Structures are given as C-alpha cells and as structure tokens.
Amino acid sequence: MTTTVKLNKNGTKNNPVLAFWQKHKNDLIPPLVGVIGFLLLWEMTSHLPGMRLPGPSSLFTDERTRILLLYPFYDRGGLDKGLFWQTMASLGRVAQGYSLAAIVGISVGILVGTQPFLDKALDPIFQFLRMVAPLAWVPIALVALQQNHPAAIFVIFITSVWPILINTTEGVKQIPQDYINVQKVLQLSKTKFFFKILLPSALPYIFTGLRIGIGLAWLAIIAAEIVMSGIVGIGFFIWDAYQQNYISEIILAVIYIGAIGLILDRAIAYLQKLIAPGQ
C-alpha cells in the first residue's frame, strides 16, 4: 500500500507531462470543456433530420476528407495537391502582398504623420478607401492587372495596407511632447530624431497596425482566391469543394484557415516582443 503511494508521488514528479498538467490544470480544463462541448453539439445537430451540414466526425468518416487530413503533403500535379501545399500557395501570396503593404504602409505613414498638410489632405481618402471590402477590390484588380497572380497580390496589399498606414500615422502624431522637448533642447539631428525617438515611439502603434493587417491579409486571400478560378490555394480549394459538394472538405479547410490565421497573428505578436519588448 505504502509503496504504491510512493510510486505515484514519484511518478508525478518525474513525468513532465503530468507535472505540466498539474500546474496548468485550471487554465486548461475550461477551454477543453468548451471545445469538446462545441464539437458534441455540432455533431448532434448534424444528425437532425433535414440537416445537410455534416458533423466534425465526417473528417474521419468521409474517405476523401480522411485522405486530405492524413496526407497533407501529397502532390498529384495540377490543382490536386495536399492541404499543406494549398496553404503554402496562399501563404506565399499573403507574404508578397503583406510585405508590400508593410513597406508602403509604414513609410507613407511616417511621411504623412510628420507632414500635417499631407495628413489633412490624404486622411479623407484613406478613411474612405479602407472601408472598401476585399471582395470589392477583386474585379477592379482583375480588370486593372488582367492576371490572377498580380491581382491576388494587389487585393491583399490594398486590404492590409490601411490599418498599417493609419496606425503608423497615428503613432508618429502621438509622439509624447516630452520626447519632442528632448529633441528640441538637445537640438538632435533629423537622423538621430528618427532612429532614437520617432521610430521607437511609434513602434507599438506600427505593430498594432501590422497585427490588424496580417489578419485582414489572410481574410483577403481567401476571398480573392474564391473568385479567381483555377489556382492552387486554400481559398480556391474551398470553392472547388463547394462546387463538387464535398462539404466535409470545406470544414477541414476552414480548420486550416483558422489555425493559420491564429499562427500569423501570434507570429507578429512574437515579433513585436522581440523588436519592441515591454512597450
């Protein structure tokens, strides 16, 4: 009897998984309960008469979906690729459009933030354009650029650039008077002011913009790809699956989209911690 108790205690101490569970039990149980409850409810609803949306179990029961789930890396050429490759194709477009948006958004934002005239002149245009939904840009982009690939990049760019630009402008305008006074009394050069005061002071705002921007960019690519037919990408994959009535495949793709979106957001947050810690 005593030996079993002892073993148990030792087991808890030496097993890192168990130790982790013991420590974070209270933080882990509620979300687990939430997720499992949600899935159960969904599964039950899907069995109601007349309901066409399959439950989460269809990820395993549907054969085509199971293959997609288990073999994300397969590549049979053309559009018939595993979800990993579909996602990577979409991410590649996001990377291009978003990088462009970050470069343009931050540099124009700094320019506009430091020039009150430009700010007043351009703010109404920015405020107007940022309200245009990504999908509305698709036909414009297709007409203007005539090809799927550059049009997709443009849609991502134009969707994600506004929060980056507007937040950067705001960050530059919000530099505390104290720091401006330091610049004035020391008579700092323009370069020194830019690198030692303006940029670090605006950085938290810039990162807020970048985080909103990455989320919008990811939303935009899905929307853009759904409209642009015949390309490898998770957005078009969903559209294709819908056309062929493979509903459980859509569910799987949606899970991918949610997970990637979350990872992208966290990646920017991590980058912020790395570059501007404690701000």
Partner 1 sequence: MQTTNRKLVNSMEKQLKLDSFLTIDNVSKIYPTPKGPYTVLQNVNLTINQGEFICLIGHSGCGKSTLLNMVSGFAQPTGGSVNLKGKAITQPGPDRMVVFQNYALLPWLTVFDNVYLAVDTVYPQKIEAEKRAIVREHLALVGLTEAMEKKPTQISGGMKQRVSIARALAIRPEVLILDEPFGALDPITKEELQEELLKIWHENRCTVLMITHDIDEALFLADRLVMMTNGPAATIGEVMSIPFARPRDRERIMEDPQYYDLRNHALDFLYNRFAHDDVA
236 closest CA partner among 158, 148, 156:
148
Choice between 63 and 178, CB closer to partner 1? 178
Residue (of 271, 263, 249, 267) closest to 82 by Cα position: 249
How many whole angstroms separate alpha carbon 147 and alpha carbon 61? 39
Question: Can you tell me which of 56, 72, 150, 200 binds partner 1, judged by CB under 8 A?
Answer: 200
Exposed e or buried b per residue across 178-213, where buried means at least 16 C-beta atoms within 10 angstroms of its C-beta:
eeeeebeeeeeeeeebeebbbbebbbebbbbbbbbb
Within 13 A of 186's CA, how many CA atoms are on the CB side? 13
Q: Does 189 sit near partner 1 (CB under 8 A)?
A: yes
Decide if residue 194 touches partner 1 (CB under 8 A).
no
Of 70-78, 162-170, 181-189, 240-248, the segment contacting partner 1 by CB under 8 A is 181-189
The one among 69, 111, 135, 188 contacting partner 1 by CB under 8 A: 188
Contact partners, residue 222, CB within 8 Å, separation at least 6: 90, 234, 235, 238, 257
Residue from 36, 39, 41, 186 binding partner 1 (CB under 8 A): 186
Under the criterion CB under 8 A, does residue 197 sit at the interface with partner 1?
Answer: yes
- Indicate the residue among 45 and 189 with the shorter CB distance to partner 1: 189
Among 3, 4, 187, 191, interactor with partner 1 by CB under 8 A = 187
Number of residues that bind partner 1 (CB under 8 A): 19
d(CA 171, CA 183): 17
Q: Say which residue the tokens 């948006």 belong to.
A: 101
Among 57, 66, 196, 215, which residue sits at the site for partner 1 (rule: CB under 8 A)? 196
d(CA 106, CA 161): 9
Q: How far is the CB of 193 from partner 1 (least distance, A)?
A: 10
The piece of 26-34, 136-144, 195-203, 242-250 that touches partner 1 (CB under 8 A) is 195-203
Q: Is 178 in the site for partner 1 (CB under 8 A)?
A: yes
Minimal distance in Å, beta carbon 201 to partner 1?
8
Using CB under 8 A as the binding rule, whether residue 84 contacts partner 1 is answered as: no
Does position 179 bind partner 1 by CB under 8 A? yes
Find the farthest-apart pair of alpha carbons in the chain and give their distance in angstroms, rounded.
Answer: 82
Q: At what angle do helices 199-227 and 134-145 cross, to 10 degrees?
A: 80
In the complex, which residues of this chain contact partner 1 (CB under 8 A)?
A: 178-179, 181-182, 184-189, 192, 196-197, 200-201, 203, 276, 278-279
